[in-house]
Amino acid sequence: MRLEDVRHIGVLGGGVMGGGIAQILAGLAGYKVTIRDLTQEILDETREELIERKWGVKRAVEKGKLSFDNGMRAIENTDFTLDLADLADCDLIIEAVPEKLELKQAVFEELDGVAKADCIFASNTSGFVIAELAEKVSDERKKNFIGMHFSNPVPVMRMLEVITTDESDPEVGEIAKAVGEAAGRAVSMVKDKAGTYGFILNRVFAAAAREARQIVEDGLATPEDVDKAMITGRNWPAAFFGSRGGIGKQW
Ligand SMILES: NC(=O)c1ccc[n+]([C@@H]2O[C@H](COP(=O)([O-])OP(=O)(O)OC[C@H]3O[C@@H](n4cnc5c(N)ncnc54)[C@H](O)[C@@H]3O)[C@@H](O)[C@H]2O)c1
């Protein structure tokens, strides 16, 4: 697979993440995107989210965050399907089903029998070891198996982590990086590591959250004071304990 061969991208799961991933890949990067989910009701909801809801294209265009042409492209380039076979000619498939290891492994195993031989498989897992997600696909596929971890809400948060394993072809990581950049992402490359959960974003956040909890458990500060310090000192808008430390919205 070469970057210029990537034309059709499949997205498995049209939930919070899958819908947003499809939106930016179709709208900003211009790929043909097909979203697969399990019921027509969910797919209708995904379409509604993409067009009408808080992070959808209509509001983004109205607010001047997205051009009208890119907004139209996001709608026109996105197809919705219940049938996995509709992903058979995809060049890249991004999995965004719920964060359950066995479910993801089973989904990739099924996909392996449907997707074309050189299709790249990517998981948007928040933190599972990518090599473990690849356990049930063929050995041949493993070189095309990576992580692509987007951040929520995808149309707003520019982060993308591309995770490569010991078995991934480095060129596949570079293709994923270029695809992400075409969709306006700031891409960080990171290696997979057994025995961990999370890549850069979630590992660093988890470490900070552990310290925040420890400070409160030790009786050194209240949750509100921890949140206040992190919001005003580091500009972390989503603080650890969900309070705003009494500082109000103006900040
Ligand atoms: N929500 C976040 O903030 C966030 C951020 C980064 C990464 N993630 C990761 O993204 C992934 C998806 O999370 P989400 O929040 O979008 O979940 P979600 O529950 O909103 O959506 C998951 C979708 O997958 C569908 N699904 C289940 N099995 C399927 C199958 N076999 N084929 C196709 N679709 C299937 C469900 O019907 C649902 O619509 C998880 O791995 C999660 O850890 C989530």
133-148 average pLDDT score: 98
CA distances from 2 to 5, 12, 86, 118, 139 (A): 5, 22, 22, 10, 20
Instruction: Please state the rounded mean pLDDT for residues 44-57.
Output: 95
Q: Is 97 in the pocket of ligand 1 (CB under 6 A)?
A: yes
pLDDT at 41 over 80: yes
DSSP 3-state of 194: coil
Average pLDDT, stretch 1-18? Answer: 97
Asked about 161 being catalytic, the answer comes back as yes
- Catalytic hit among 123, 124, 161, 168: 161
- Scanning the structure block, which residue is given the tokens 């409160």? 216
CA angle 203, 208, 214 (to 5 degrees): 125
16 CB within 6 A, ligand 1: yes
Q: How remote is the CA of residue 223 from the centroid of ligand 1, in Å?
A: 30
- How many residues are recorded in the chain? 251
Same domain, 149 and 220: no
pLDDT tens per residue across span 216-237 = 999 999 999 999 999 999 988 7
Pocket test for ligand 1, best of 12, 16, 197 (most atoms within 8 A of CB): 16
Per the domain annotation, does 242 fall within a domain? no
Residue of 97, 121, 129 with the most ligand 1 atoms within 8 Å of its CB, for mutation: 97
Same domain for 90 and 121: yes
- From the CB of 22, is ligand 1 less than 6 Å away? no
Is residue 76 domain-resident? yes
How big is the chain by its Cα radius of gyration, in Å?
Answer: 19
> Catalytic site residue 8?
no
Q: Same structural domain for residues 161 and 205?
A: no
| Number of domains into which the chain is organized | 2
Q: Which DSSP string do the residues of 135-180 spell out, in sequence order?
A: TTS-HHHHTTEEEEEE-SSTTT--EEEEEE-SSS-HHHHHHHHHHH
Q: How far apart are CA 67 and CA 69, in angstroms?
A: 5
Query: 148 and 33 in one domain?
Result: yes
The verdict on residue 216 lying in a domain is yes
- Is 102 an active-site residue? no
| Candidate list 8, 149, 151, 168, residue with the active-site label | 149
Residues 142 and 220 in one domain: no
For the question of residue 126 being annotated catalytic, the response is yes
- Look at ligand 1, atom 36, and give the residue with the nearest C-alpha: 13
Structural domain that includes position 114: 3-191
Residues 178 and 149 in one domain: yes
Look up tokens 């299709």; give the residue. 119
Cα distance between residue 159 and residue 217, in whole Å: 32
Determine if ligand 1 sits within 6 Å of the CB of residue 204. Answer: no
Same structural domain for residues 210 and 123? no
* CATH number of the domain within which 57 lies: 3.40.50.720
Say which range, 33-37, 86-90, 105-109, 223-227, has the weakest mean pLDDT.
Answer: 223-227
Q: Which of 110, 93, 112, 124 is nearest to 11 (CA)?
A: 93
177 and 60 in one domain?
yes
Is residue 250 assigned to a domain?
A: no
3-state secondary structure of 227: helix
Q: Is 26 exposed, middle or buried (0-12, 13-18, 19+ CB in 10 A)?
A: buried
127 shares its domain with 184: yes
Does residue 107 sit in the same domain as residue 213?
no
- pLDDT over threshold 60, residue 251: no
The answer to whether the CB of 18 is under 6 A from ligand 1 is: yes
Q: Is the CB of 27 under 6 A from ligand 1?
A: no
The pLDDT, as a whole number, for residue 239 is: 78
Give domain status of residue 246, yes or no.
no
Model-level pTM?
A: 0.95
- Tell me which residue of 58, 234, 11, 249 sits closest to 155, measured CA to CA: 58
The pLDDT assigned to 246 comes to 74
Say if residue 169 is in the same domain as residue 61: yes
| 50-65 burial: b if 16+ Cβ within 10 Å, else e | bbeeebbbebbbeeee
